[in-house]
Amino acid sequence: MPFAVVGLNHRTAPVEVREKFAFASTEMTDALSHVLDGNGVSEAALISTCNRTEFYLHVTDFDLAIPGVIDTLAAQAGELPKPAERYVYVQRGADAVRHLYRVVSGLDSMVLGEVQVQGQVRDAYETARSLTGQRQAVRAVFNRLFQSALSVGGRVRHETRLAEGAASIPSAAVELARKIFGSLRGRHGMVIGAGDMGELTLECLVDEGVSSVLVASRNMVRAKKVAEQFGGSAVAFSDFWDDLPQMDIVITSTAAPHAMITLEDFQRRMPRKLKSPLFIVDIAIPRDVQPEIGELPNVFLYSVDDLEGIVTANHERRKAEVPKAEAIVEDEVDRFWRWYSGLQAVPFIRRLRERAEDMRQSELDRALAQLDHLSESDQQRVERLTRDLLQKVLHQPTARMRAAAEDGHEHDILEAARYLFGIEEEDGLGKKSSE
């Protein structure tokens, strides 16, 4: 199969190198145009995320295409500690298709089974499709390839549990919050101490619909900055107790050397019985919240260790699903290969039908010239008869030719058909492209 993927990812390059190779969304169409511009590439797509930059290519000439794309990548990266080739991998043929399917399924992701990559591949496909005219990047083959890739991603997520369960501490916190509150829309959240992890967790919660956000920090400038980012308000660290009773979710991530929410303070400042649940995520080390608070009614207290335990368990479960996901990928690579092989028969079948149609038309004209006594409707009947007859005669051989091609026997079957029907080989007529 004349396919290739040329690129780099989190396995072959560290982040400081990956970010040099990354293409902004505004640069992607130019990069694709450049790759398509007389470089032995007939179709192309570019995936550029924080973890990978990859060109997918439908190639007419590998010797031209691969160095050309590596040059494009090197030009984008500029100065590098090592030559660009050291970070870049090339996969060809079915391996390239398999790679795309593994990427879209999350099998090749840094976080196994991540879901976002499906959207990133869809965006890459849409961007490539937006190129039209002479530098059209997506034609029939890449349309099929990317649509099948997106369907593989869907299949893997539907038929396996590869994407299930939280894969990071912030997403574990969100998963727990969802199990307590159901929808997080309209919930009140507070982050105490605006550390990076606290901010990330808050971001995930806001994405899920937490609407009212308070940020309490000893550093008011930082608190205001974080609060502004999430459309919330900053409160002085000393005042957080005043707002705590109204909160549904509290994230603590201060650098305090001791617990700053003690059982004694909690019992003194909070209502004796909480009518609605309070979910506390303590991601500080040492812990900000005295563990005994977690034993109070309607308080759900999770520390960073608890969340890490969830993430580890989910990761193990995801790993156990990898064989099933790989089997789906293999199945789909095989299906795509069959479809692509079947394509090799299409030009021949088209030519055969054209030839047969020409013969039918000329024989029909000759016959109708001798049957001028027939009414117009009878002539139409005869015309339809010849058309139906031709259709029926050609149906079986063409269907079998396509099936044989899909089974990988396209060369033998097309040779035989050429001989039998007397159709000479022409450029590209049923010839399988070679790598």
Partner 1 sequence: MHLVAYAIAAALYLAASVRYTMRFARAHPGATVLVAIIVYAAVASHLLGVGLYWASYGEPPLVGLGPSLASLALLVGLAIAGLARFSSARPLGLFLAPVATLLLAVALIVGIEPTGSVLAFRGTWLVIHISAGFIGYAGWLVSAAAALMYLLQFRQLKHKQLGAVFEFFPPLETLDKLAEWALITGFCTLTLAIAIGWAWTIRFEGGFRWSDAKVIWGVLAWLAMLLAIWIRFSRVRTPRQAAAWNVVGFAVVFVAYLVARMIIPETQFFL
How many residues touch partner 1 under the rule CB under 8 A: the total is 24
Please tell me whether residue 276 binds partner 1 under the rule CB under 8 A.
Answer: yes
Q: Return the number of the residue (23 or 266) whose C-beta is nearest partner 1.
A: 266
Catalytic residue among 11, 25, 30, 50: 50
Q: Which of 56, 146, 181, 240 binds partner 1 (CB under 8 A)?
A: 181
Q: Least distance (Å) from partner 1 to the CB of residue 272?
A: 9
Q: Return the number of the residue (73 or 176) whose C-beta is nearest partner 1.
A: 176
Please tell me whether residue 257 binds partner 1 under the rule CB under 8 A.
Answer: no
Please tell me whether residue 178 binds partner 1 under the rule CB under 8 A.
Answer: yes
User: Quick check: bond before 286 cis, omega within 30?
Assistant: yes
Please tell me whether residue 277 binds partner 1 under the rule CB under 8 A.
Answer: yes
Q: Which of 25, 219, 267, 298 binds partner 1 (CB under 8 A)?
A: 298
Q: Which of 258, 273, 373, 392 binds partner 1 (CB under 8 A)?
A: 273
Q: Least distance (Å) from partner 1 to the CB of residue 54?
A: 31
Q: Least distance (Å) from partner 1 to the CB of residue 18?
A: 34
Q: x/- site string to partner 1, residues 132 to 171, per CB under 8 A?
A: --------------------------x--x--x-------
Q: Least distance (Å) from partner 1 to the CB of residue 284?
A: 18
Q: Least distance (Å) from partner 1 to the CB of residue 300?
A: 5
Q: Least distance (Å) from partner 1 to the CB of residue 190?
A: 19
- Annotation says 204 is catalytic: no
For residue 33, which of 83, 68, 8 has the smallest C-alpha distance? 68
Please tell me whether residue 176 binds partner 1 under the rule CB under 8 A.
Answer: yes
Please tell me whether residue 332 binds partner 1 under the rule CB under 8 A.
Answer: no
3-state per-residue secondary structure call for the chain: CCEEEEEEECCCCCHHHHHHHCCCHHHHHHHHHHHHCCCCEEEEEEEECCCEEEEEEEECCHHHHHHHHHHHHHHHHCCCCCCHHHCCEEEECHHHHHHHHHHHHCCCCCCCCCCHHHHHHHHHHHHHHCCCHHHCCCCHHHHHHHHHHHHHHHHHHHHCCCCCCCCCHHHHHHHHHHHHHCCCCCCEEEEECCCHHHHHHHHHHHHCCCCEEEEEECCHHHHHHHHHHCCCEEEEHHHHHHHHHHCCEEEECCCCCCCCECHHHHHHHCCCCCCCCEEEEECCCCCCECHHHHHCCCEEEEEHHHHHHHHHHHHHHHHHHHHHHHHHHHHHHHHHHHHHHHHCCHHHHHHHHHHHHHHHHHHHHHHHHHCCCCCHHHHHHHHHHHHHHHHHHHHHHHHHHHHHHHCCCHHHHHHHHHHHHCCCCCCCCCCCCCC
Tokens coding 383: 């015309």
Q: Least distance (Å) from partner 1 to the CB of residue 271?
A: 11
Please tell me whether residue 208 binds partner 1 under the rule CB under 8 A.
Answer: no
Please tell me whether residue 219 binds partner 1 under the rule CB under 8 A.
Answer: no
Please tell me whether residue 274 binds partner 1 under the rule CB under 8 A.
Answer: yes
Please tell me whether residue 185 binds partner 1 under the rule CB under 8 A.
Answer: no
Q: Which of 89, 300, 337, 339 binds partner 1 (CB under 8 A)?
A: 300
Which residues are marked as active site? 50
Residues that bind partner 1 (CB under 8 A): 158, 161, 164, 176, 178-183, 273-277, 294, 297-298, 300, 302, 306, 309-310, 313
